[in-house]
């Protein structure tokens, strides 16, 4: 991994939210952790966590899955309605 990568705008978004809760649209993964994150969001604990989440989002984008993080669950659900995942499975909750 490159250690001196410039802080891009999207990474800055995550860094600005350290200590805050974020939400995301459905990742298309039915595991317990993803289900919990989808329903409750999670708190970004520190800078390395912010980077991890940012990289995760970028990885999904690269694989064609529009996974994105938002300040509110409402925003995440609105995004999800506009960008359904190709392999999205509707989960009973
Ligand atoms: Zn999962």
Mean pLDDT of 63-78: 93
**How many other C-beta atoms can be found within 10 angstroms of the C-beta atom of residue 60?**
18
Q: What is the dihedral of CA 36, 78, 83, 25, to 10 degrees?
A: -10
The phi and psi torsions of 52 (rounded to 5 degrees) equal -60, -45
Mean pLDDT of 23-52: 95
Q: 38 alpha carbon to ligand 1 midpoint, in Å? A: 10
Distance in angstroms (rounded) separating the CA atoms of residues 11 and 67: 15
Q: 26 alpha carbon to ligand 1 midpoint, in Å? A: 10
92 found inside a domain: no
Mean pLDDT of 7-34: 94
Is the pLDDT confidence value at 27 over 50? yes
Whole-prediction pTM value? 0.81
88 found inside a domain: no
Question: What domain range includes position 26?
Answer: 9-82
Count how many domains the chain has: 1
Q: 4 alpha carbon to ligand 1 midpoint, in Å? A: 30
87 found inside a domain: no
18 found inside a domain: yes
Is the pLDDT confidence value at 91 over 50? no
Q: 29 alpha carbon to ligand 1 midpoint, in Å? A: 4
91 found inside a domain: no
Q: What is the dihedral of CA 78, 83, 89, 92, to 10 degrees?
A: 10
93 found inside a domain: no
1 found inside a domain: no
């Amino acid at each position: 991994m490159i250690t001196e990568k410039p802080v891009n705008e999207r990474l800055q978004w995550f860094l600005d939210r350290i200590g805050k809760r974020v939400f995301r649209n459905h990742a298309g993964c039915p595991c317990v952790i993803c289900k919990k994150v989808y329903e409750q969001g999670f708190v970004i604990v520190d800078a390395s966590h912010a980077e991890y989440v940012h990289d995760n989002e970028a990885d999904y984008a690269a694989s064609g899955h529009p996974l994105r993080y938002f300040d509110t669950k409402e925003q995440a659900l609105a995004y999800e309605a506009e960008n359904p995942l190709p392999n999205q499975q509707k989960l009973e909750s």
